[in-house]
């Protein structure tokens, strides 16, 4: 995963999920694409709205991951000025998504390889809850769904 640069002078920084999640309870939110309607208007805003409630239930980090380049992820993160808790990461080559089979082929819509939509509850590097969507839906991977899982 890549952490978008904080400003143009900074280099892109590679980070591992292991380094972000070891010894913690985190939520990993996978989205098909930055700035897409379902992701931008529903999925991510729900996590921003519920972040403090999720943190009050023991969540250390809420990590948003998409198969977009780091600069797009930086711009997308900036489009949520009210966000205080979500961290945005790039999986530009889909390497992270491909390893467990979480990639989505959006070639028929002109998107190429993307991520399935999902929300994972990870406790000390062990997946405790895997809410996976099908067909572009947003029925099981919302912030409310994760709150119910806690």
**Residue 47: pLDDT above 60?**
yes
**Residue 106: pLDDT above 70?**
no
- Name the residue among 100, 108, 95, 105 with its Cα closest to residue 132: 100
**Better pLDDT: 116 or 51:** 51
Catalytic (active-site) positions = 39
Least-confidence region, from 71-75, 94-98, 124-128: 94-98
Which are the contacts of 18, defined by CB distance < 8 A and separation ≥ 6? 125
Q: Is 147:50 a contact under the CB 8 Å cutoff?
A: yes
**Better pLDDT: 7 or 32:** 32
Per-residue pLDDT, averaged over 56-68, amounts to 95
Q: Mind listing the domains of the chain with CATH numbers?
A: 2-149 (3.40.30.10)
Beta bridge partners of residue 105, listed in sequence order: 113
Least-confidence region, from 33-42, 48-57, 139-148: 33-42
């Amino acid at each position: 995963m890549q952490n978008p640069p904080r400003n143009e002078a900074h280099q892109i920084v590679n980070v591992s999920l292991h380094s972000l999640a070891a010894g913690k309870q985190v939520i990993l939110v996978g989205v098909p694409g930055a700035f897409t309607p379902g992701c931008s208007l529903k999925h991510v805003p729900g996590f921003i709205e519920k972040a403090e409630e999720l943190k009050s239930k023991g969540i250390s980090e809420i990590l948003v991951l998409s198969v977009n380049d780091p600069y797009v992820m930086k711009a997308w993160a900036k489009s949520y000025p009210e966000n205080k808790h979500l961290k945005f990461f790039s999986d530009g080559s889909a390497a992270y998504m491909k390893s467990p089979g979480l990639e989505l082929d959006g070639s028929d819509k002109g998107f190429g390889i993307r991520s399935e939509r999902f929300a994972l509850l990870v406790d000390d590097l062990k997946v405790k809850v895997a809410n996976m969507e099908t067909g572009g839906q947003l029925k099981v991977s919302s912030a409310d769904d994760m709150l119910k899982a806690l």
